[in-house]
Amino acid sequence: TRPRLVLLTGAAGGVGTFLRALLPGYGYQLRCFDRLPVPGEPGAITADLRDPQALATAMDGVDAVVHLAGIAQEAPFPEILAANIDGSYRLYEAARAAGVRRIVFASSNHAVGFTERPADGGLLPVETPQRPDTYYGLSKCFGENLASLYADRHGIETVSLRIGSCLAVPRTVRMLATWLSPADCARLVHASLSAPVAGHTVVYGISANTRAWWDLAPARALGYRPLDNAEEFAAELLARLGELPPDDPEYRVVGGSFTRLGD
Ligand code: 15L
């Protein structure tokens, strides 16, 4: 059988760059799509999500989509509206028209960013109500709801990954809880592409971090088995930066300093 052909939007971005290196190892053939040229990928489609022709060409014959494209931090609302909200709508419409049945959506912890750490020291469930911390987080709430609509209305299965901090290594004390290593990111995306799911499924995307407080059970139910742990970097980070005071938003709420961006 031929490898599964996966459309990777946002292929030139941070997470896209990790996945371009790692997903082929799981047997996927990638078709890259980005607004910017994708280094080392001469076959990539360089276009905006709001170019219907380019998007239709990109969707043709693919088995699934990994949708990372969009602005990855806070920005003025009109920019978020165009790139993340309208862009994701166009992506789902093109997938529906092409008969694509599975999408993995890069949501973010910032969809629930104002949610407080559970007082009892427990884990935060994915069922917690959406509570965006920025226009960026709001666009991720929209993406999750768009996925829900297209699951119920059109039978497109989406796994929304509320990604924590996907970087080569954790850089802040908060990231000792929120880090998603590149290798675990690929494991999670592979699980999300291959597991049977019913409709729209939301999971947190982090590594097996000792200090984690977001429930990984839904991701594990898809077959995700994280192998990395930010704790490996704890001694060095804490010696350099110190522990977070409990009233610091970096410690207290999901979205950390994003919750202060409007101040
Ligand atoms: C995100 O959603 C951002 O895209 C990323 O740059 C990080 O800031 C991450 O969240 C985070 O919460 O650490």
- Give me the pLDDT at residue 1, please: 62
Active site residue 28: no
Query: 259 in ligand 1 pocket by Cβ < 6 Å?
Result: no
Nearest CA to ligand 1 atom 7: 165
Helices of type H across 36-168: 52-59, 77-80, 87-98, 135-154
Q: From ligand 1's centre to the CA of 135, what distance in Å?
A: 13
The closest alpha carbon to 108, from 91, 126, 122, 86, belongs to 126
Q: Tokens 């499924």: give the residue.
A: 201
- Give me the pLDDT at residue 232, please: 98
Q: From ligand 1's centre to the CA of 220, what distance in Å?
A: 22
What region, left, alpha or beta, does residue 29 occupy, with left being phi > 0 and alpha being psi -120 to 50 degrees? beta
- Give me the pLDDT at residue 188, please: 98
Query: 165 in ligand 1 pocket by Cβ < 6 Å?
Result: yes
What are the domain boundaries of the chain?
Answer: 4-260
Taking the CB of residue 104, how many other CB atoms lie within 10 A of it?
Answer: 25
Query: 171 in ligand 1 pocket by Cβ < 6 Å?
Result: no
pTM surpassing 0.95?
A: yes
Q: Which class in CATH covers the domain with range 4-260?
A: alpha beta
Nearest CA to ligand 1 atom 5: 165
As for the ipTM of the complex, it is 0.98
What are the CA-CA distances from residue 32 to residues 15, 64, 108, 198, 207 (Å)? 13, 12, 21, 27, 25
Tokens of 100: 């694509």
pLDDT digits (tens, 9 = 90+) for 120-146: 999 999 999 999 999 999 999 999 999
Q: Which parts of the chain sit beneath pLDDT 50? A: none
pLDDT digits (tens, 9 = 90+) for 84-100: 999 999 999 999 999 99
